[in-house]
Structure 1
Amino acid sequence: MIKITMFSAAETVPGQGVGSAYRELVNLLQKKFPKELDLQFNTLKKTDISHYHTINFKYFLSTFLPKRGRKLGYVHFIPETLEDSIKLPRPIKNMFYWYVMTFYKRMDHLVVVNPTFIDKLVDLGVKRERVTYIPNFVAKETFYPMTAEEKLDVRNKLEIPQDAFVILGVGQVQERKGIWDFIALAEANPNWHFIWAGGFSFGAMTAGYEELKKVVDNPPANLHFPGIVDRSLMNDYYNAADVFLLPSFTELFPMSALEAFSTGTPTVLRDIELYRAILDGYYVPADGVRGCKKLCNNFQKMKHFQQSYLKKRWQHLIVIQKRMSLKFGWTSMRNKNKRGNPCHVVI
């Protein structure tokens, strides 16, 4: 068996996409390869592969220890994606950004979840041949479309009016997520029902915390903030919604969009470049409050448009699941993998 040590603190801070992506990967490997892979967690025992998912300082120190095997790092963010996420004094921010890249450069190989970030990493000093693109994925057993009757029950459970047109947003409450546009859309459309599932995962360090906290504590009557929702309950929220809206200004590969895809919920994303590289043609792009309002009007009033869109989205779900393979370059590993090198783990 190949020994893999997972280094991660992603699930210690709730409400993060990094934690969701990590859990999906661990579940997949444990389910599909129980005899081929021996997973260990946050241990310094001898291993064949050290797989780093978060950049905690103690994990950085572990990269200098012996018996770490091949060091593989997941890139869930780069310095530019942290802008408008957390606020730090400039000297501390510059030091932290330096640390992020120093951590990545300690790896033998990096995995990015969006191909557009390969060039950005190269510009930051990482060798291109040491970076591989592998998309995020979700398990269809966890996120799935409910029947019409089940959706009615879910709305009752969540205390959502049955006749309401529901727009769902998911993610941390922070400016980078486009939360102000979501709030403005709610204020401009009092007849629609808005839900933002997520909270302040980083507390007062969150960019724009003071102003956003005021709205969260006293939102418009048609806007509900349930806070950080346990992932096991998120399938209910996606199925209760008529539209999933993510107005983020910057992302890598949002797990929430994949979760919405998997439930068959029509998805509107801000029209930004990085989505085009991974999801082009399979979501509805929009710009600003006006663009989002126009598209939501379409979903509310044009049922035939919604149904044809859902059919296309379901076809995309099948395609994207087939693409979700994990390719690890284990060239220096002992040759025990009967599938050859690199190892292909297919959902």
Structure 2
Amino acid sequence: MLKITMFSKADKVKGQGVGSAYIELINMLNEQFKQEFVININTWGKADISHYHTVNFPFYLSTFFKKQRGVRIGYVHFLPETLKGSIELFAPFQKIFEWYVLDFYRRMDELVVVNPSFIPELVKAGCPEDKITYIPNFVSNEVFYEKSASEQCALRKKYGFSPEQFMILGVGQIQKRKGLDDFIQLAKDNPELTFVWAGGFSFGKMTDGYEEYEKVYKNPPENLIFTGIIDREELVEYYNLCDVFLLPSYNELFPMSILEAFNCGTPVMVRELELYQSVIKDYYIGCNDRQEMQKALRRFKKNPELLEEYQERSRNAAHYYSKEHVAKIWHTYYTETVEHYQKKN
């Protein structure tokens, strides 16, 4: 049996996509491969694989004990530039942090990226391309799934929404890079539509734009609701009761929220970003700016039957990024990687 140690603090801060991805992977491995893999969390015993999900400093120090750690695999959920608009650090600390993150990745024997668009930047930072592998995120269809039409109607009643309301859902941390300014402005410009943002300030006052967003959070327009950070059991209900999932982010990785929406059969609208072309092309409604989002939302409000095509696209995407499909990829990756390094040594 392969001994795999997971190093992660991703589940310590609620409302992070990294934490969701980590939990999904751990649950999947324990469920499907418990006869082949022994999974330990943040332990220091000898392992065949040490899989680093977060870049905490004690984990960085552990990489120097190579014999104990086995094959060191770094999970690249972000690059330094993708954090811009997420957290605000004093400029000198920002430079140190950026160096540290890239050096953490350079210390790995292998890297796994959640989006292939990261690969050129990692190579530029000094990581050999032949040691970088793309494995997509996934979400469990037991947690995030499409409910029946009658269940969706019941959910609207539960949360105090009428069947006639056209509802737009946004999900994620409240921060500038998520496109919150556009989401808020769309709500102001479309008082006849209902906007819900599920998420909160995961990083507190370190959040970029915290003071500005806190004011809106406490006193939003009448048609804009902030739920705060909520559990996944409640989040799946919001995906099912909305008409459109909208993620207006300026900078993304491979958002778990998009996969969650796909699993719920919810039409997905995003700001058109180059990185989406390599992972979810043809599955979403792409808009270049707020004006295009505005036109699309009004068009769908007037002709809701047009959303049926995008519901089907979401279902197709959910099938492609299913837990079963991605599980096979991880199994092959872990076993072949260990075999490769054993032969090498």
Equivalents in 1 of 2:339, 2:3: separation in Å? 15
Structure 1 position 332, deviation (Å)? 4.5
Tell me, yes or no, if the aligned pair for 1:48 and 1:333 is still in contact at 8 Å.
Answer: no
What code does the residue aligned with 2:7 have?
F
SS in 1 for 2:321: helix
1:253 aligns to what?
254
Partner of 1:90: 91
Counterpart in the other structure of 2:204:
203
What amino acid is the match of 1:36? E
Structure 2 Cα separation of the partners of residues 316 and 199 of structure 1: 27
Percentage of pairs with the same residue: 50
Deviations along 1:188-215, one digit per CA (max 9) or x if unpaired, are: 0011111000111001111111111111
The letter of the residue matching 2:140 is: A
Q: Aligned pair 1:330/2:311, yes or no?
A: no
Contact 1:198–1:228 (CA under 8 A) maintained in structure 2: yes
Does residue 166 of the first structure (1) align with residue 150 of the second (2)?
Answer: no
More displaced, 115-124 or 296-305?
296-305
Pairwise CA distance, 1:284: 0.5
- Post-superposition shift, 1:89? 1.1
How far the C-alpha of 1:331 sits from its partner, in A, is 3.3
CA RMSD in angstroms, aligned pairs only: 1.4
Deviation (angstroms), 1:308:
2.5
Kindly indicate whether the alpha-carbon contact (under 8 Å) linking 2:268 and 2:314 is maintained by their aligned counterparts in 1: no
CA shift digits 1:52-74 (9 cap, x unpaired): 00000011111112411110010
1:43-54 alignment, distance < 5 Å = 43-54=43-54
Look up the match of 2:56.
Answer: 56
Q: Spell out, residue by residue over 1:135-157, the C-alpha distance to the aligned partner (whole angstroms, 9 max, x if none).
A: 10111111111111111221222
**Partner residue in 2 for 1:186:** 187
More helix by share: 2
Q: Which residue of 2 aligns with 1:8?
A: 8
Greater CA drift, 250-259 or 66-75: 66-75
Q: Residue 264 of structure 1: SS of its match in structure 2?
A: coil
Q: State whether residues 75 and 113 of structure 2, in contact with CA within 8 Å, keep that contact through their aligned partners in structure 1.
A: yes
What's the CA shift for 1:314? 1.8
| CA–CA separation in structure 1 for the residues paired with 2:104 and 2:161 | 45
3-state SS of 1:265 partner? coil
* 1:172 CA displacement: 0.4
Mean alpha-carbon deviation: is it higher for 317-326 or for 147-156? 317-326
- Alignment correspondent of 1:119: 120
CA distance in 2, matches of 1:298, 1:30: 45
DSSP-derived class of the 1:229 partner: coil
The whole-number CA distance in structure 1 between the counterparts of 2:234 and 2:124 is 40
For the residue of structure 2 that corresponds to 1:72, the secondary structure is strand
Match of 1:220 in 2: 221
Counterpart secondary structure, 1:73: strand
Structure 2 letter corresponding to 1:19: G
Residue 29 of structure 2 aligns with an amino acid whose one-letter code is: L
Following superposition, the deviation at residue 333 of structure 1 comes to 5.4
Q: Which residue of 2 aligns with 1:345?
A: none
Displacement of 1:334 in angstroms is: 5.6
CA pair 212-88 structure 1, distance change in 2 beyond 3 A: same
1:66-81 map, 5 Å: 66-81=67-82
Measured against aligned partners, the alpha-carbon deviations of 1:13-70 in whole angstroms (never above 9, x if no partner) come to 0000000000110111011101000000000011111010000001111111241111
Q: Secondary structure at the match of 1:279?
A: coil
Contact 1:170 1:246 in 2 (8 A): yes
Report deviation, 1:323: 5.2
Q: Is the 8 A contact 1:143 1:235 kept in 2?
A: yes
- Which sections of structure 1, spanning at least 5 residues, go unmatched? 336-347
Structure 1 letter corresponding to 2:21: A
Residue number in structure 2 paired with 1:28: 28
Amino acid aligned to 1:156 = K
What are the Cα deviations for residues 73-110 of structure 1, in whole angstroms up to 9, with x where unaligned? Answer: 10010011011111111100000001101111111000
SS at match of 2:89: coil
Q: What CA distance in whole angstroms lies between the structure 2 residues aligned with 1:158 and 1:130?
A: 48
Partner of 2:282: 281
Asked if the contact 2:261/2:314 (under 8 Å) is kept, the reply is: no
DSSP-derived class of the 1:298 partner: helix
Name the SS of the counterpart of 2:12 in structure 1.
coil
Aligned AA (1:30): N
Do 1:172 and 1:198's aligned partners in 2 also have CA atoms closer than 8 Å? yes
Kindly provide the amino acid, as one letter, of the partner of residue 50 in structure 2: S
TM-score normalized with structure 2 length: 0.94
The whole-number CA distance in structure 2 between the counterparts of 1:323 and 1:282 is: 18
Other structure's SS at 1:330 match: helix
Q: Once structures 1 and 2 are overlaid, which stretch shifts more, 308-317 or 281-290?
A: 308-317
Q: Which moved more, 1:322-331 or 1:85-94?
A: 322-331
CA distance in 2 between counterparts of 1:195 and 1:157 reads 15
Answer whether contact 2:136 2:321 (CA < 8 A) is retained. no
Matched AA of 1:302? N
Aligned residues of 1:7 and 1:42 also touching (Cα < 8 A): yes
One-letter amino acid of the counterpart of residue 70, structure 1: V
